[in-house]
Structure 1
């Protein structure tokens, strides 16, 4: 059995890619669950005899459970072997989705989304930190981007397919399919992943340790700012490009293009982070995104121009995820498991804030102004990243 130390100065595992691919498959299952429910809301509402707005709270509850439980579960399990954490997370995730598929009442379905969200948070944070550890410092960005590829693939493939299955058969069939994905990933991780140890003490001390480092706190705060800038245009893409994509089919094309260009951006950024350093990549990407967002309203009336704008925005939006995690993992060292969980919480906080900020901008200035609302935040994230990763003391 291969045992990999938690020390970031040790030699990396020679063949980390197959293990990162297994972790990416688990991320695909988790990501599909996070995205697919939104496409099933009308069917869920009809089945449970509630309004679509009430059914929409399943998405909200999942996100809140994810954000709150990620750092807590990471702290409680930081001394566990990573393989045990990952398998336990997938078991929790599968159990939550199985209950969702079986439940006949709205209350139980809500509770099941809490369980699934906790399992998803526990898996994603641990998977990215484990892949980074297996690959070693020189290839850390590529390893993280491989795991993230599973999540972006769920946006491009998993969620649309799940929505189609739910429409043709039943939404519960889709939830069973998501459950099966989680169960398929668990034995592969249990049997194939090397023994990677957490190497730390659990509990409150593990939770608070990363928060004592001012650089890490600054990067987490920057993550919130950066992803509010990313998710405002994504959340309201249907409104921003309504003149060019007025119906469902044209909007679906834009969403597909966004997912595909985002996947390319993620893979490219992982390699660039390894070559040039994560700080430089994040600063460059966020500045480029700010410029792209300023120019976006110019292409909202013509479909070809809208596609071009979405290609650029999608590529840049997904180009910060791997470098940003690379940056915070490098700062955390052996505490990466907990800090990646805090990173996931920051990300989901940004998702919530972007919805509220976008709604205010939509109400006050209209959809054309939303990219201009996001652009200053992207520029601010670039400036904060430059400061947080270089000058702030521990």
Structure 2
């Protein structure tokens, strides 16, 4: 028998946790969406960018690279420098940074200035990612923190599934500068949304900041970071080189990317439903799905339907990866979550870049496309071994709240 009062459902024997502050968490998710779209949109506009800036497509591709470099370089120092600052102010500054640097990209007449703007946009995105996880966790009860991270992280797969393809389509209809300007306008609207619905959360005002080297060696932190490196690297080998992987099948590239994006959304929703009750099992299950998909993609002769299923399984498995890894990291880091998160952002971006480097090296060595999937499978197995071996980093059962 139940009765509802306010935002809490009363049950025999106790009180259910308060409802999630969905409007606030979705605003945080929108910040992640904005950061991902800002990062990846040049990849869908390469021909237009190259023609508009009178550079080669490889040179236009550096707009993506400089953004990633800015994120890697800035994550640790910016998060450390803003540790004591109100979280809402930090997030608003980061979103306004994306507004300004996208606006510069949209109007700048010179390629070097656009490269500089992209680098600085990457630093703003690093600040978004550096505060997002800790902010989401502090808006909810401890028993809901994993679910809150899943909700706040849903912007990432949506950006990959919907945002980038729509931006690419828009770039075929209007000048690329209008597409970037629209992203800048979205940042302005998002800043108003955040100001209106996201509660204030103070920075860490007490105590001396723990040196980063001490945060990294806290029990379980290195195991989580290693698992993240291996898993994200495996994923990005597949994702960066999905075109050659699908070339031997009858599954179209655009269809494969759409299937992956939709499946990722399903994956993060499923993760949010179970992560707080069984984080370790959720992580191992997701890794098993990615491993199974890698095995299938290593055999493109299976046919179009099995390959489509494999891409779906891969998307479901990896969709909740950031949420489950960040939850495990924050559980181990405690009050040092933001510092640990800054290292996670750096590791994540290095793994993204590493996917291109490792996959490129595999192909440059004369291997065929299925070798990429075998490499991803090997890395996924190593990640499973890390999780299995380190129960302290990934404890079984419900999260210790």
Q: TM-score, normalised by structure 2?
A: 0.89
Q: Deviations over 1:291-340 (max 9, x none)?
A: 33123233456222221111111111223221111100111112212222
Check conservation: 2:296, 2:307, Cα contact below 8 A. no
Q: Deviations over 1:182-238 (max 9, x none)?
A: 111112212321121121579985544422425212311221111111111111111
With over 3 angstroms needed to count, the CA separation of the structure-2 counterparts of 1:109 and 1:13, relative to structure 1, is farther
Which residue does 1:337 correspond to in 2? 338
With over 3 angstroms needed to count, the CA separation of the structure-2 counterparts of 1:30 and 1:371, relative to structure 1, is same
Separation in 2 of the partners of 1:244 and 1:200? 56
78, 85, 89: which one aligns with 1:80: 85
Q: Please report how far the alpha carbon of residue 385 of structure 1 lies from its aligned counterpart in structure 2 after TM superposition.
A: 2.3
With over 3 angstroms needed to count, the CA separation of the structure-2 counterparts of 1:215 and 1:191, relative to structure 1, is same
Which residue does 1:298 correspond to in 2? 299
- Stretch moving more, 46-55 or 355-364: 355-364
| Partner secondary structure for residue 233 of structure 2 | helix
Q: Are residue 180 (structure 1) and residue 180 (structure 2) matched?
A: no
Q: Are residue 137 (structure 1) and residue 142 (structure 2) matched?
A: yes
Q: Are residue 255 (structure 1) and residue 257 (structure 2) matched?
A: yes
- Superposed, 1:107-126 pairs within 5 Å as 107-126=112-131
With over 3 angstroms needed to count, the CA separation of the structure-2 counterparts of 1:311 and 1:331, relative to structure 1, is same
With over 3 angstroms needed to count, the CA separation of the structure-2 counterparts of 1:272 and 1:30, relative to structure 1, is same
Q: Are residue 18 (structure 1) and residue 23 (structure 2) matched?
A: yes
- Stretch moving more, 134-143 or 104-113: 134-143
Check conservation: 2:149, 2:323, Cα contact below 8 A. yes
Which residue does 2:387 correspond to in 1? 385
Separation in 2 of the partners of 1:37 and 1:301? 33
160, 164, 172: which one aligns with 1:167: 172
- Superposed, 1:312-323 pairs within 5 Å as 312-323=313-324
Q: Please report how far the alpha carbon of residue 63 of structure 1 lies from its aligned counterpart in structure 2 after TM superposition.
A: 0.8
With over 3 angstroms needed to count, the CA separation of the structure-2 counterparts of 1:164 and 1:206, relative to structure 1, is farther
Which residue does 2:283 correspond to in 1? 282
256, 266, 269: which one aligns with 2:268: 266
Check conservation: 2:45, 2:168, Cα contact below 8 A. yes
- Stretch moving more, 299-308 or 120-129: 299-308
Structure label with greater radius of gyration: 2
Separation in 2 of the partners of 1:387 and 1:270? 24
Separation in 2 of the partners of 1:382 and 1:129? 26
- Superposed, 1:142-161 pairs within 5 Å as 142-161=147-166
Q: Are residue 354 (structure 1) and residue 355 (structure 2) matched?
A: yes
Which residue does 1:368 correspond to in 2? 370
Q: TM-score, normalised by structure 1?
A: 0.90
| Partner secondary structure for residue 365 of structure 1 | coil
| Partner secondary structure for residue 50 of structure 1 | coil
With over 3 angstroms needed to count, the CA separation of the structure-2 counterparts of 1:307 and 1:134, relative to structure 1, is same
Which residue does 1:31 correspond to in 2? 36
Separation in 2 of the partners of 1:12 and 1:332? 23
Check conservation: 1:28, 1:154, Cα contact below 8 A. yes
Q: Deviations over 1:84-119 (max 9, x none)?
A: 010000111111111111111111010000111111
| Partner secondary structure for residue 247 of structure 2 | coil
- Superposed, 1:151-230 pairs within 5 Å as 151-200=156-205, 205=210, 207-230=212-235
Which residue does 1:4 correspond to in 2? none
Q: Deviations over 1:10-61 (max 9, x none)?
A: x987542221011112222112112211011111111111111111111111
